[in-house]
Amino acid sequence: MNYPEIRHKTFLFLLVAFTIAFIVVILPFYGAVFWAIVLAILFAPFYRRLSAKMNKRPNLAAAATLLICILLVVLPLVLISLSLIREASVLYVNIRSGQLDIVGFIQRAFAALPESVVNILDRFGVGNLSALQEKLTTAAVQGSEFITRQAINIGQNTFNFMVSFAIMLYVLFFLLRDGDRLVVQIKQATPLNHDHKRALFNNLTTAIRATVKGNIIVASVQGALGGIAFWFLGVQGALLWAVLMAFLSLLPAVGAALIWLPVALYFILTGSIWEGAGLIIYGVVVIGLVDNILRPMLVGKDTQLPDYIILISTVGGMALLGLNGFVIGPVIAAMCITLWEMFSAGNQKHEADKQHRPE
């Protein structure tokens, strides 16, 4: 092994080692850095237009874009979170005090069931009313306690949250200001040909923008529609259920129905037939239509991913990475498909060249 080869391998070893070390260093704040990158990609076009109107003053344009980002994204999320914590605490108190009568609902539900259904439940071991009441009541109380504990943890971890929030804003400012230069440097350092680099970076930014904007728009619309229906029907904690529906709407196809369908069944089993039937029709026709129309248009169309790939990658991403996974999962899927398409196209070109090559 000659000296230049040893020097090259040593350099590669140091490059990989210090890259891994840097990732480990920033790992405690990976969420803040990740969302700074996502917001920078989303607001980059706006920053460029603003910078052009401000006579190429990058610092001022980045600061103005950051302020608009806070007003449009961060501030509404903070206000909704505060309202959500308050409603979750009220719901917990009502369950503990018995004002929200879960046991009574279970009794009425069992009384309304036909005898044949009760027999089937008996076969599966869930026909014992007393035991089932105890299990469901315990589950409901534990669920409300979990929500309240999370609210308390948010308060106790305010310092950590503020540090992460400050890091996100700080990194976002510099990504907005220096983002184009950083992208050029990354492209230059990537050992691929020009066409592959252009396709990869274009698909990466397109997948992030489509996933974030599409999923957030769909989730917000479905949550808002569900919340309005709950408020109109007088369901307690309408904002809490609206936020839960919005969160579950990140899961394609099933999402919000996990909330509005049990509430509709509650109405039917407690004698409010018209309210329950109306909520089912509203959920299927209105809330479901949003998912069926908007999601393919906003997510699948831009990322060019089939619906089943979006569903699997979203659920898998959230299972592995929590809330961040609803972006990371589909982006990884989009990049994987892009790379395989490049590989396939390269193989086809190689085979075509072989066929036309003279013997």
Q: Name every residue whose Cβ is closer than 8 Å to that of residue 305 and which is 6 or more positions away in sequence.
A: 299, 313, 330, 333, 334, 337
Res 26: pLDDT:
85
Other C-beta atoms closer than 10 Å to the C-beta of 302 total 17
- Residue 155: its H or E element: helix 129-156
**pLDDT (tens digit per residue) in 246-256:** 877 776 666 77
Res 151: pLDDT:
53
Res 218: pLDDT:
79
- Residue 226: its H or E element: helix 194-233
Count each helix (H run) and each strand (E run) in the chain, helices first: 16, 0
Least confident of 30-34, 56-60, 103-107, 173-177: 103-107
Q: Name every residue whose Cβ is closer than 8 Å to that of residue 313 and which is 6 or more positions away in sequence.
A: 305, 329, 330, 332, 333
**pLDDT (tens digit per residue) in 98-121:** 665 555 555 566 565 566 655 665
Q: Which long-range contacts (CB under 8 A, 24 or more apart) does 176-185 make?
A: 176/40, 176/43, 176/44, 176/47, 176/61, 176/62, 176/65, 176/66, 177/58, 177/59, 177/61, 177/62, 178/58, 179/40, 179/44, 179/47, 180/44, 180/48
- Residue 310: its H or E element: helix 307-321
Q: 173 pLDDT exceeds 70?
A: yes
Q: Which has more confidence, 95 or 307?
A: 307
Joined tokens for residue 262:
């049990």
pLDDT, averaged across the chain: 75
Q: 82 pLDDT exceeds 80?
A: no
**pLDDT (tens digit per residue) in 282-317:** 888 888 777 777 766 666 555 667 767 777 887 788
Other C-beta atoms closer than 10 Å to the C-beta of 359 total 2
Whole-prediction pTM: 0.69
Question: Residue ranges per domain, the chain?
Answer: 26-189, 194-343
